[in-house]
Amino acid sequence: MLFVWVPLVFSSISFLFLFNSDVFNMLTRIYNNRDFLRKAYGINKSSVNLNHTFLLIQKLTNNSPIKEGEMLWETYRDCRKACLEKDKWPYLMKLDNTINSELDVQMENDQNSESQKCLNFSSYSYLNGIRDESLRSFVFEEMKDGGYHFGNHGPRMLGGNNKWLCKLETKLASFLNREKALCFSSGFLACKSAIQAVSSPKDIIFADGKVHESLRDGIRVAKSRGTYVKYFRHNDFDHLYSLLKKHRQTGQNAYIIIESVYSMDGDFTNLPLVKKYADEYECRIILDEAHGIGTLGETGRGIEELQNCVGAAWMIVGSLTKSLSSVGGFIACDTIMYDFCHFFATGTMFSAPMSVPNAIMAYKMIDVIEMNPQWVQETRDTMQLLKTYLLPLQKKHGATIQSDPGSPLVAFILKDFSIDRVLSLSVIMKRKGFYVATVCAPACEIRAPRLRLTAPRGMTEQNIKDFVRHLDETLTETIHFEQENIMKEIGDLLPLIGL
């Protein structure tokens, strides 16, 4: 049916715009892509989700055959294989020698050759603790002195606690202005467990449309048990308000789930406004501070400090894997919820806690931030340099720099760039000695692939200049990919096929 009326609509519009050759040419190009549209339309019907649709489109653009009813994992496998063959697979690399200013990076394709030295422009260790020799030595010393090994005796209820875990929890709680903190072996587990633990079938959850998969996973668990769930459009607080007005009375307890910094977009939530609405509609705010802790606010205490609303969140969750340069996650809350989560959060009740060296490192890193708040400002300064040098690339290459002032990351959005070009860009940059993370759907909008860029504290102005110069050159070198880009030409039609 679509292919009866699409040409009809185009031909009548073409007639109306006959004297405007630009419009006419555009419509002709779109019309000529009807084969693609037909396939994409078919794809949309058989694909299981956005991720699948995205991968199927990649197969189409690579002229790779699509099998009838092929499953997501098959599509992923075929895409990965095609990308590896064409040397544009920038994922699952080997990164070693993290203590050096240049990482040793090895792509999957290069397993038999020497690794490449790369500056990391996508590191999550915003304050660069991951490269600090004295912090590493401190961890080793304390491990040895305390008689610790790397493992533990399993979930805390039976396997017990240790001194460093308890020290870390006390320090973290006080750093975040909460009575208590409970640590987990990962941020994912902490975020997921928090929602799973607190929500009951009678409750309602309002969540930002771009919250992290860990929170979504918790929301899925809650939903499967009967919790009512409403997502509001990302950072659209009018939408949140209208949903509260319409649905708040549906649930007994209500939770609003947001992040301080959105990790694929570099933008902030508006906590004071969310708090105002939360108070009006008696909701509890669950705030994911994964990227805000150590980076936002004068002393790195996160968005509550930055936006001058300490105590606004009912519960703070997050990761110790970013600024704190460790591995683990946490829930920070009042004593009642802390006791409750010990027993009801499955990620701690049924899973071993974070390891001792990780607890020592996270503890020491908070200590360092408390003693040296200038580290936080230095990180912001380095990020600001990166943004300043990137600025001219926006207009020159049609990119968009998205990042709120003071954000620890930049989403360098390459709207309507072919995915081929974005993937190649990342691979070429690695060969030139710069590690950058490439983000595609479903982690972002299908038409807005991006590089997620950071400039950790300690990155020099010369490093940043070199990086931006190479990025500029690489964007120019890869311009030819655009000519093969079907996505751009049919971009405006994607809504027709439900994307």
Residues in contact with ligand PLP by CB under 6 A are 186-188, 191, 212, 214, 259, 263, 288, 290, 319, 321, 329
What angle, 0 to 180 degrees and rounded to 10, lies between the N-to-C axes of helices 187-198 and 213-224? Answer: 30
Q: Who contacts 53 (Cβ-Cβ below 8 Å, separation ≥6)?
A: 43, 44, 47, 446, 499
Cα distance between residue 229 and residue 467, in whole Å:
43
Q: Would you state the structure tokens that stand for residue 449, as one six-digit string?
A: 């692939």
Nearest approach in angstroms of CB 293 to ligand PLP is 11
Nearest approach in angstroms of CB 387 to ligand PLP is 20
Using alpha carbons, list the distances in angstroms from residue 460 to 97, 121, 122, 379, 470. Answer: 19, 12, 15, 11, 16
Nearest approach in angstroms of CB 374 to ligand PLP is 25
Nearest approach in angstroms of CB 328 to ligand PLP is 7
Closest by CA to 341, choosing from 350, 331, 329, 328, is: 331
Nearest approach in angstroms of CB 34 to ligand PLP is 40
Q: In this complex, which beta carbon is closest to ligand PLP, that of residue 59 or of residue 171?
A: 171
Q: In this complex, which beta carbon is closest to ligand PLP, that of residue 290 or of residue 331?
A: 290
Q: In this complex, which beta carbon is closest to ligand PLP, that of residue 421 or of residue 450?
A: 450
In this chain, which residue has its C-beta nearest to ligand PLP?
187
Q: In this complex, which beta carbon is closest to ligand PLP, that of residue 251 or of residue 302?
A: 302
Q: In this complex, which beta carbon is closest to ligand PLP, that of residue 191 or of residue 490?
A: 191
Closest by CA to 192, choosing from 324, 328, 346, 334, is: 346
Q: Would you state the structure tokens that stand for residue 275, as one six-digit string?
A: 């708090």
Helix, strand, coil % in the chain, rounded to nearest 5: 50, 15, 35
Q: In this complex, which beta carbon is closest to ligand PLP, that of residue 402 or of residue 478?
A: 402
Nearest approach in angstroms of CB 264 to ligand PLP is 8
Closest by CA to 328, choosing from 474, 489, 169, is: 169
Beta strand 228-232 with 204-208: parallel, antiparallel or unpaired?
Answer: parallel
Backbone angles phi, psi at 118, to 5 degrees: -135, 140
Nearest approach in angstroms of CB 458 to ligand PLP is 21
| b/e code 477-489 from CB counts within 10 Å (16+ = b) | ebeebeeebbbee
Backbone angles phi, psi at 106, to 5 degrees: -130, 120
Closest by CA to 321, choosing from 265, 362, 281, 360, is: 362
Nearest approach in angstroms of CB 187 to ligand PLP is 2
Cα distance between residue 125 and residue 322, in whole Å:
5
Q: In this complex, which beta carbon is closest to ligand PLP, that of residue 183 or of residue 428?
A: 183
Cα distance between residue 499 and residue 492, in whole Å:
10
Cα distance between residue 126 and residue 452, in whole Å:
13
Q: In this complex, which beta carbon is closest to ligand PLP, that of residue 341 or of residue 497?
A: 341
Nearest approach in angstroms of CB 185 to ligand PLP is 9
Q: In this complex, which beta carbon is closest to ligand PLP, that of residue 187 or of residue 449?
A: 187
